[in-house]
Structure 1
Amino acid sequence: MSFLVGKIVLDVVAGAPNNGEGTDNTGRVKQLKVGRETFPYVSAQAFRRWLRDSLPPEESRSAVTRSGSGAKQQAYTAGRPDLHLDDDLFGYMVAVKKENYQRDTVLATGTLVAVVPQRPTLDFGTMSRDFPVGEHPVLHSHELYSATLAGDILLDLPRAGVFETDGSGLRVAFAPAVAEQATAAGAQPTTLRGTAALRLPIEERRRRVALLLRTLAAVRGGAKQALHYGDRTPSLVLLAPMKGGVNPFTRVIAARDGKTVFLPEVLREELGAWADELDGPLLLGWAPGFLGDQREKVRRDLKDLIESEKVIMDHPRVLLAQLAEQLQRGERDEWFEDPAA
């Protein structure tokens, strides 16, 4: 059993990828305050939406139902993780007619927060095209910023394609009738962490996780792309298979003297401290040109770990594609197994 844990880092240049509530005809980017400092961020909900939207068009997506009005509105997906990859890996809650079904997420994503505090810039604009002579233009403004955003990530592999059918309250993934349909389609009964469940065939479980990794390597999306189009694929990805799901690598990206830095000494010490929990090499995907010459410096600093294959370092897209291939070929099937099953 393994969890893939680590970090994803985005390089936003003059962008406004995730906006909050506007004020006074001004579009505001999402930002949080820590003391007197401002940190722009992209919410986990927004990034997960980008991932969903970046899935291949032929991949089945769970339909959303909206009901009610005013304060009593609700929206929910089909709640069919047996049929749809997004319901499986992203989770859901369906609460209708006194029936509650819930799927806790397999993919956990943290908020992508600027590593170094940044004060967003206010961009002023006007609309006056085809206005009569002498007409006042329509004024508008919006915020943008440049920043390195970093967030944690966790992928609970034993739960991919496995759905709870017992337990209490909202732990049940779907209704008994749906469980019967899933069983008829090939799902098998199993036990997941002490709870009765249904499990899809391993081939489909491999496929779903591999597709998610490939999608992460090619993710696109974000707000205001007409004005601030930019690359939204991760500039840096760190992934390590951990037996217990702890993520000890949250502090390898830090701020020093107003700049974003990667701390190889932190990575080295954490690898040593958690060696008994690691279930394979740590993958460090780093796009060339990101963070200047730090990439080659880190490669030199971690030379012994790279040569011993405790750390594998390459382009993010290359590493994610290689891991996806290994999973799909069945080379990491032990990561999908729950010892208590």
Structure 2
Amino acid sequence: MTFLVGKIALDVVAGAPNNGLGQDNVAKVKQMRVGRDVHPYVSAQAFRRWLRDSLPADEPRSTVVRSGSGKKQQAYTAGRPDRYLDDDLFGYMVAVKGADTCQRDTVVANGTLVAVAPRRPEKDWGTMSRDFAAGENPVIHEHEFYTAELAGDLLVDLPRVGVFETDGTGLKVALTATAATEAEQGGAEPVELCGTRALRLPIDERRRRVAVLLRTLAGLRGGAKQSLHYGDRTPALVLLAPMKGGVNPFTRVLGVENDKVVFSTDVLREELDAWADELDGPVLLGWAPGFLGRQRARAETELTDLITDERLVLGHPRKVLNELAVDIQAGRRDGWFEDPKA
């Protein structure tokens, strides 16, 4: 049983990728305070939306139902992870009065992408005066934007990809009785995962879904204010480690020194040594050239022994993610999907 855990960093340059509530006619970016410091952020929900929107165009998405009005509105997906990759990977809850309920905890867990170093957003302003008569005052509007290195944690629960609980104590089932019957007729097999009865899709489809997720992450796009603040939203840095448990010991590889974001090879090395017995393969470090200046070249030199011993793979984020997708889809990582207690 293996989880992919680690860190993702985005390089936001003069951007406003996720907006909060506007105040006094100013469109504000989402931001948090730590003491007196301001840290812009992209919410976990927004990042998940980017992932969904970045899925291949030919990948079917789960349908969404919206009902009710006012404060009694609800919206939910089809709740069919056997049919839809996004229901499988991102989870759902379907709770309709007078009908069967089902829910699925997320397979892909991600943290909020927060500016590693404090960065106070700047204000920009614009005007609308097109077709106004001579002498009329323009309409003025303001918005915030910022430059920052954002980082957040990531976990992919590989054994649960394509595996849907059909019973359990204190849990709602992932499939209704009707959906479970249809899934089994469609090729899902009865299994047991962590002591709970479940249905499991064929391994080819499970491999495919993880490969699609990794390739989607490599080509991530999205974010607000693209007309004014277009920018790259693919990972500038991604660290993924196959861990036998769900612990993520790599949350502190990025830090701050003299107001600059730094990658700590010492932290990475010590965590690798401390968790060596839990690692289930080499750690993958995708690092875009130019991100954090010359630190990538320095890190490659300082980690040469780990790279030589094949404990660490260092390359471009897109290449690292796509190569892992190829390995998984080719069946070279099937052990990661298995429950050792099964």
What is the TM-score normalised by the length of structure 2?
A: 0.99
What are the Cα deviations for residues 292-322 of structure 1, in whole angstroms up to 9, with x where unaligned?
A: 0000000000000011110000000001010
Letter in 2 for 1:95: A
SS of residue matched to 1:205: helix
What are the Cα deviations for residues 139-191 of structure 1, in whole angstroms up to 9, with x where unaligned?
A: 10000000000000000000000000001454310111100000000000000
Q: Contact 1:101/1:170 (CA < 8 Å) preserved in 2?
A: no
Q: How many residues align?
A: 341
Q: Which moved more, 1:202-211 or 1:124-133?
A: 124-133
Matched residue, 2:161: 160
Write out aligned runs for 1:1-341 (5 A): 1-98=1-98, 99-341=100-342
Q: Contact 1:100/1:169 (CA < 8 Å) preserved in 2?
A: no
What are the Cα deviations for residues 27-78 of structure 1, in whole angstroms up to 9, with x where unaligned?
A: 0100011111110000010001001000011001001110001111000000
1:340 to partner: Cα distance: 2.1
- Partners of 2:35 and 2:57 in 1: CA distance: 44
- Partners of 2:259 and 2:172 in 1: CA distance: 45
- Partners of 1:60 and 1:297 in 2: CA distance: 43
Q: Unpaired segments of 5 or more residues in structure 1? A: none
CA RMSD of aligned residues (A): 0.7
SS of residue matched to 1:227: helix
SS of residue matched to 1:8: strand
What are the Cα deviations for residues 181-209 of structure 1, in whole angstroms up to 9, with x where unaligned?
A: 00000000000111100000000000000
What are the Cα deviations for residues 117-157 of structure 1, in whole angstroms up to 9, with x where unaligned?
A: 01100111111111100111111000000000000000000
Q: Contact 1:7/1:152 (CA < 8 Å) preserved in 2?
A: yes
1:234 to partner: Cα distance: 0.2
- Partners of 1:57 and 1:317 in 2: CA distance: 19
Q: Contact 1:107/1:156 (CA < 8 Å) preserved in 2?
A: yes
What are the Cα deviations for residues 211-263 of structure 1, in whole angstroms up to 9, with x where unaligned?
A: 00000000000001000000000000000000011000000001111000000
SS of residue matched to 2:6: strand
1:338 to partner: Cα distance: 0.7
- Partners of 1:241 and 1:58 in 2: CA distance: 29
- Partners of 1:220 and 1:43 in 2: CA distance: 15
- Partners of 1:58 and 1:170 in 2: CA distance: 33
Q: Which moved more, 1:96-105 or 1:241-250?
A: 96-105
What is the TM-score normalised by the length of structure 1?
A: 0.99
SS of residue matched to 2:134: coil
Q: Unpaired segments of 5 or more residues in structure 2? A: none
Q: Contact 1:100/1:170 (CA < 8 Å) preserved in 2?
A: no
SS of residue matched to 1:212: helix
- Partners of 1:48 and 1:117 in 2: CA distance: 24
